């Protein structure tokens, strides 16, 4: 019996390549590289059963993250997309907020663009340690709330957060500017050695600041009106 | 004015291009000049005012073809059905939070998907149309997006950063639509807010390619869409929220309105009832078939060639051209006819449901007790039986709702969904009229058995011979007492449920058994 569809065997529908196809292919390739890089970092970091924000742990994780992100090219939009991929967790096996923040910071620091905008308003989890070692000349603008250790160890650059940040914001920062439009938590500027932190809302408590300035609603609250660490007011 | 000859000329070409969608030939109407086309009950209507405005900028046939390509792509690709429409809306709303903005975002997303699919897979003058169409701020951004992702010059230059972000969304990957529309809504959220503000100041602007309301769907499609949506692991709260967002439009298209003449405001659509109704509908139940009977008469059924020796009286003179010749002459094959026999009746059913404080409130969370009862009602109704409901909490104190035997789903679900949340007691005298109103009705009782007048209930059930199914939740002394007292009754079945999720399956399992017995 003849196959009634034989006549259509060689029929091809008109399907043309459109730029969208190549954009998506390239995006998928980059996202896969970023994800693999993160998994590589996690493989190392999960050896530490409990991930604590300690000087050595952070430096070790960042050194590895730096090495990984230098291996491929990506754009600012890829970083934002990666944040959402982390959040949805159906592709990436687990989100450990410490290494994730370090990795995203490394991605920002080595991105080609000088200004990076991350629209993270709809993120369910808050990213910690974002802005780590942000270099001079870079600006990272985040729409949404961030977690602990925002802008730690900043080396220059500008970190703008349209939202809240939690404890230890600007801890150990050497230089640069952190702008938080809403409120921040305790230990603000702990071991801060330079730079400025501008807060639009309330600062819940200051840390042990070595040097630098902290502003609350345009008023200097450190060093001019020095207050006790974590004093509630 | 759109010449009808152009539509008649273009329509076969467009239908072939889109692989013959089941749509009637498009119509023309006097419409607003800023809306190109509308779709109502599968009928595409091209607005002449829009056509007249654009026709001098590009070929007349091209305008019509482009508009039809757009309309048909929505029908054949995105959203395809009402369920997808609801899904996309829900995901958009998760991001933008505002109902109107979510509708607009979902509409724009569907436009981008449908148009991009059309441009990629078909030969279409759509890009040309987008070049000449008048656009608002958001539409201009979408045109710039098209320019980037289609690789064609559409004379659009808008917000590069937004366009760059939008161009990274995999529009043609259906599996990712839920995530994609979230990204899409996230990027255009700010623009939609500005547009909404401008609309408030300047009066309503509309999508130049037509709005994506519910007019395009038939009532059956809406029904199916809601059923699929309820089954897609959406909780009661989310279903209710989405349903409420479309409530006015559903009312406008006549969904949930009982037929018939008369006056009056009509019954308001209740999201809770619709949710349980749609969930219950998706549980499979046996439909009792009407038996077929042979009637003994032979009826012409099919033709076969006449051969020498076969009787002449069976020759079909009309197909034999008046000739008696082997190979040409056709005779009738006759078979015995069959007809519908008499239906064996399924008894009516009384559902006794506990809505005391220890049961889940069906209007706050998914109540499996109510869902089980809804499944039972649905099964009986589909088999042409009637259902009565006795919903009780502290019945002697007034915590009860009684519905006499009826086949009206909305009324049944309305009583099933009532929640009293008080103590637990039955007023057994009230069951008598229900038992008398039908011929040996089946009884389903769904409760946690913590009934204060349990002794009387046991005595009552011991004296009736109807088939009774008791589904009770959790093991407790009351349940044990009930079970021990009733164990010898052959007309009684007990099901102890530890997981509430099992109630609908248990109820349906029992119903299947009952129905098999009746077949």
Q: Is residue A9 part of a domain?
A: no
Rounded to an integer, what distance in angstroms lies between the CA atom of residue B504 and that of residue B317?
60
Q: In chain B, which residues have their Cβ closer than 8 Å to the Cβ of A27?
A: 168
Q: Is residue A112 part of a domain?
A: yes
Which pLDDT score is estimated for B165? 92
CB contact under 8 A, B168 and A81: yes
Q: Is residue A16 part of a domain?
A: no
Q: Is residue A15 part of a domain?
A: no
* Banded pLDDT at B344 (limits 50, 70, 90): low
- A60 to each of A54, A57, A77, B340, how far by Cα in Å? 10, 5, 26, 82
Which tops the pLDDT comparison, A138 or B155? Answer: A138
Which pLDDT score is estimated for B468? 87
Q: In chain B, which residues have their Cβ closer than 8 Å to the Cβ of A24?
A: 168, 170, 173
Across B390-412, average pLDDT: 89
Backbone angles phi, psi at B117, to 5 degrees: -60, -45
Q: Is residue A84 part of a domain?
A: yes
Q: Are B195 and B231 within 8 A, CB to CB?
A: no
Domain housing A133: 21-222
Q: SS3 helix, strand, coil % of chain B, rounded to 5?
A: 50, 15, 35
Q: B121 to chain A nearest CA, in Å?
A: 4
Q: Is residue A231 part of a domain?
A: no
- B83 to each of B54, B79, B224, how far by Cα in Å? 34, 8, 8
Q: A23 to chain B nearest CA, in Å?
A: 6
Its ipTM equals 0.83
**Low-confidence winner among A73-87, B139-153, B183-197, B266-280 (lowest mean pLDDT):** B266-280
**What residue has token string 């077949």?**
B519
Six token digits for residue B120:
């990629």
Domain ranges for chain B: 4-202, 292-340, 349-518
Is the confidence at residue B380, as pLDDT, over 90?
A: no
Is the confidence at residue B435, as pLDDT, over 70?
A: yes
Which tops the pLDDT comparison, A20 or B253? Answer: A20
Across A39-57, average pLDDT: 70
CB contact under 8 A, B165 and A20: no
**What residue has token string 């949710």?**
B275
Question: Average pLDDT of chain A?
Answer: 87
Q: pLDDT, tens digit, for every residue of A169-190?
A: 999 999 999 999 999 999 999 9
CB contact under 8 A, B116 and A121: no
By CB neighbour count within 10 A (0-12 exposed, 13-18 middle, 19+ buried), where does B132 fall? middle
Q: Is residue A232 part of a domain?
A: no
Which pLDDT score is estimated for A82? 92
Q: What percent of chain A is predicted at pLDDT more than 70?
A: 85
Which pLDDT score is estimated for A233? 45
Q: Where are the beta strands (DSSP E) in A165-222?
A: 175-180, 196-199, 213-216, 219-222
Across A3-9, average pLDDT: 76
pTM over 0.80: no
Please count the CA atoms within 13 angstroms of the CA of A106 that sit on its side-chain side: 26
Q: pLDDT, tens digit, for every residue of B237-284?
A: 888 888 888 888 888 877 765 544 444 444 556 788 888 888 877 776
Across A112-120, average pLDDT: 92
Q: Is residue A12 part of a domain?
A: no
Which tops the pLDDT comparison, A228 or B92? Answer: B92
CB contact under 8 A, A15 and B121: yes
Q: Which of A12, A20, A141 to mutate to test the interface with B (most CBs of B within 10 A)?
A: A20
Which pLDDT score is estimated for B225? 87
CB contact, 8 Å: B116 with chain A? yes
* Banded pLDDT at B505 (limits 50, 70, 90): confident
Rounded to an integer, what distance in angstroms lies between the CA atom of residue B472 and that of residue B231?
25
CB contact under 8 A, B95 and A122: yes
Which pLDDT score is estimated for B261? 44
Which pLDDT score is estimated for B482? 87
Rounded to an integer, what distance in angstroms lies between the CA atom of residue B419 and that of residue B369?
12
Rounded to an integer, what distance in angstroms lies between the CA atom of residue B412 and that of residue B389?
7
Which pLDDT score is estimated for A226? 52
Which pLDDT score is estimated for A149? 93
Which pLDDT score is estimated for A196? 95
Specify the CATH number of the domain B349-518: 3.40.50.410
- Give the three-state DSSP class for B207: coil
Q: Are A95 and A86 within 8 A, CB to CB?
A: yes
What domain count does chain A have?
1
* Banded pLDDT at B118 (limits 50, 70, 90): very high
């Amino acid at each position: 019996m003849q196959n009634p569809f034989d006549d259509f065997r060689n029929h091809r529908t008109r399907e043309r390549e459109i730029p969208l196809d190549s954009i998506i292919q390239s995006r998928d390739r980059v996202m896969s590289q970023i994800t693999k890089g993160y998994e590589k970092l996690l493989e190392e970091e999960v050896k530490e059963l409990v991930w604590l924000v300690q000087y050595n742990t952070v430096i070790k994780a960042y050194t590895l993250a730096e090495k990984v992100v230098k291996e491929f090219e990506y754009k600012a939009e890829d970083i934002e997309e990666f944040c959402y991929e982390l959040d949805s967790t159906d592709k990436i096996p687990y989100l450990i907020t410490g290494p994730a923040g370090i990795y995203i910071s490394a991605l920002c620091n080595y991105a080609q663009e000088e200004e990076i905008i991350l629209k993270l308003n709809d993120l369910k989890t808050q990213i910690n340690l974002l802005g780590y070692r942000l270099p001079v000349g870079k600006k990272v603008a985040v729409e949404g709330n961030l977690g602990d250790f925002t802008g730690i160890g900043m080396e220059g650059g500008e970190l703008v957060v349209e939202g809240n940040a939690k404890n230890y914001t600007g801890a150990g920062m050497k230089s640069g500017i952190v702008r938080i439009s809403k409120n921040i938590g305790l230990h603000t500027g702990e071991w801060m050695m330079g730079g400025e932190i501008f807060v639009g809302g309330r600062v819940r408590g200051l840390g042990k600041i070595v040097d630098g300035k902290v502003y609350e609603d345009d008023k200097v609250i450190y060093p001019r009106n020095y207050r006790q660490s974590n004093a509630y007011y | 004015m759109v010449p009808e000859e152009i539509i008649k000329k273009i329509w076969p070409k467009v239908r072939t291009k889109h692989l013959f969608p089941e749509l009637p030939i498009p119509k023309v109407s006097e419409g607003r000049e800023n809306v190109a086309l509308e779709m109502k009950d599968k009928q595409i209507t091209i607005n002449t005012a829009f056509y007249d405005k654009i026709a001098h900028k590009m070929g007349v046939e091209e305008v019509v073809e482009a508009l039809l390509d757009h309309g048909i792509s929505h029908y054949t690709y995105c959203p395809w059905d009402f369920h997808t429409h609801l899904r996309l809306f829900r995901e958009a709303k998760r991001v933008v939070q505002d109902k109107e903005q979510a509708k607009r975002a979902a509409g724009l997303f569907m436009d981008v998907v449908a148009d991009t699919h059309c441009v990629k897979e078909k030969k279409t003058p759509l890009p040309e149309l987008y070049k000449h169409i008048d656009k608002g701020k958001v539409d201009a951004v979408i045109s710039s997006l098209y320019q980037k992702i289609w690789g064609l010059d559409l004379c659009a230059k808008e917000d590069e950063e937004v366009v760059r972000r939008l161009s990274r969304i995999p529009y043609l990957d259906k599996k990712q639509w839920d995530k994609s529309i979230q990204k899409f809504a996230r990027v255009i959220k700010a623009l939609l807010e500005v547009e909404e503000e401008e609309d408030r100041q300047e009066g309503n602007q509309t999508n130049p390619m037509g709005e994506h309301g519910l007019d395009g769907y038939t009532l059956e499609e809406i029904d199916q869409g809601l059923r699929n949506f309820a089954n897609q692991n959406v909780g009661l709260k989310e279903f209710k929220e989405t349903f409420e967002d479309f409530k006015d439009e559903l009312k406008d298209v006549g969904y949930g309105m009982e037929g018939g003449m008369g006056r009056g405001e009509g019954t308001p659509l209740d999201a809770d009832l619709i949710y349980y109704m749609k969930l219950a509908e998706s549980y499979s139940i046996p439909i009792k078939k009407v038996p077929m009977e042979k009637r003994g008469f032979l009826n012409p059924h099919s033709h076969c060639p006449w051969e020498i020796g076969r009787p002449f009286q069976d020759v079909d003179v009309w197909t034999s051209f008046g000739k008696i010749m082997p190979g040409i002459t056709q005779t009738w094959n006759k078979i015995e006819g069959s007809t519908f026999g008499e239906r064996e009746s399924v008894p009516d059913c009384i559902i006794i449901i506990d809505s005391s404080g220890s049961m889940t409130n069906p209007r706050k969370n998914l109540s499996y007790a109510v869902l089980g009862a809804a499944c039972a009602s649905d099964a009986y109704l589909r088999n042409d039986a009637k259902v009565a409901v006795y919903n009780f909490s502290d019945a002697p104190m007034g915590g009860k709702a009684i519905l006499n035997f009826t086949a009206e789903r909305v009324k049944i679900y309305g009583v099933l969904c009532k929640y009293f949340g008080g103590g637990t007691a039955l007023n057994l005298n009230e069951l008598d009229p229900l038992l008398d109103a039908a011929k040996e009705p089946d009884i389903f009782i769904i409760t946690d058995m913590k009934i204060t007048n349990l002794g009387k209930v046991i005595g009552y059930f011991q004296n009736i011979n109807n088939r009774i199914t008791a589904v009770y939740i959790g093991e407790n002394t009351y349940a044990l007492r009930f079970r021990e007292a009733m164990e010898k009754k052959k007309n009684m079945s007990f099901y102890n449920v530890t997981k509430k999720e099992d109630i609908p399956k248990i109820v349906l399992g029992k119903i299947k058994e009952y129905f098999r017995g009746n077949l």
